[in-house]
Amino acid sequence: YAAVLLVGELIKLVCSGFFAAFLWPSDSGSNAGAGAGVRKMVFLIKNSAKMLFLAVVYAAMNMLSFVAIKRIDAGAFTIVAQMKILTTAGFSVLFLGRRLTAQKWRSLVQLVLGVVLVSYGSYQAGHPAADCDALAAAEPLTVAEEAAAAAESDASLSTMVVGYGAVLVEVTLSGCISIYFEKVLKSDDTLKLSVWDRNFQLAFHSIVLYVVVHGMGFGGEDEGEGFFSGWSMVTVMLAFLGAGGGILVALVMKHADSILKTLAVAGAIVVSTVLGFVLLEGPLTTQMVIGAGAVILAIFSYNDTGAAVAPKAEAVEAKDVEAAKDKEPLMGAK
């Protein structure tokens, strides 16, 4: 998996470097003394300390995701992974001082439940349950077979604990690092670097890390196989999508915020599910429809500020009217 991540970061480095150093070197909001072209790239690398920490955490998160999905069920991974919506909101309150109303917290919890229904419903449709009649008709196990099954069950339990632990750590890191990245992108420092500049810095450090990981043999590839061993067009598309997704995430957090990014991701899951049903004859069960409706309602509810403000404004206006009425007799008597 390190090879896929490395290629994705190479694609992001080329795209971000082109925009930051050649296409918009002066219009990107960067420091005027940085110059353009190769000089600009050298300047960005020399001033990229903030992104080194981010690159280390992102690399750890990506590898934890691969570790988790190799050890636990994909449906369980999908459910636990949705907790990053709540961890992002929690760290946003903790580190950025944002105030989220009770309505917004309810919307976020509803969003998590809706995404879980959609995602797990899709997984269940592709992985039907085992046939109970066939299991009942199976011959009983011998003592040796029961002992082997028990040993295998213990091994699978420890493997599952590692998998759940990995995804929980990844979810926590995701919420924390999203807020850190947002703070770096929106910080008013002396460098005034653009999104393209920061993406170039992040890609540079990520490439160095993935090269080290791959060289040490921790990249998930089998020993003796080449760098591109087992690659297909799907793998290439995955690398391009990963690079494009990284750039889009940075743009969203620069111009919106990390919580809205999670809303957008949840909405994208619903859209992709519906498009899969319409274009590719994918599954669309009642459970998935209910989940999609919950996601849509949660997104609108989170962004609905008028409902919370209007009653307060009406109460103040009514109070002012009553106060004016109370003063009218006094003024007439005088």
pLDDT digits (tens, 9 = 90+) for 28-44: 455 555 667 788 888 88
Q: What is the pTM of this model?
A: 0.71
pLDDT range class, residue 234, cuts 50, 70, 90: confident
Alpha carbons 86 and 74: distance in angstroms, whole number: 20
pLDDT digits (tens, 9 = 90+) for 245-260: 888 888 887 788 888 8
Contacts of 213 (CB under 8 A, 6+ apart): 2, 59, 63, 219
Residue 56 CB: number of other CB atoms within 10 A?
14
User: Is it the case that residue 25 has pLDDT exceeding 50?
Assistant: yes
pLDDT given for residue 109 in this prediction: 92
Nearest-5° angle of CA 96, CA 110, CA 280? Answer: 110
pLDDT given for residue 135 in this prediction: 41
Q: What letters, b where the CB count within 10 A reaches 16 and e where it falls short, cover 230-264?
A: eeeeeeeebbeebbeebbebbebbbeebbbebbbe
* Amino acid at residue number 201: Q
Mean pLDDT of 150-169: 74
Give the residue among 251, 258, 209 at the shortest CA–CA distance from 19.
Answer: 251
CA 164 to chain centre: 17
Alpha carbons 261 and 238: distance in angstroms, whole number: 20
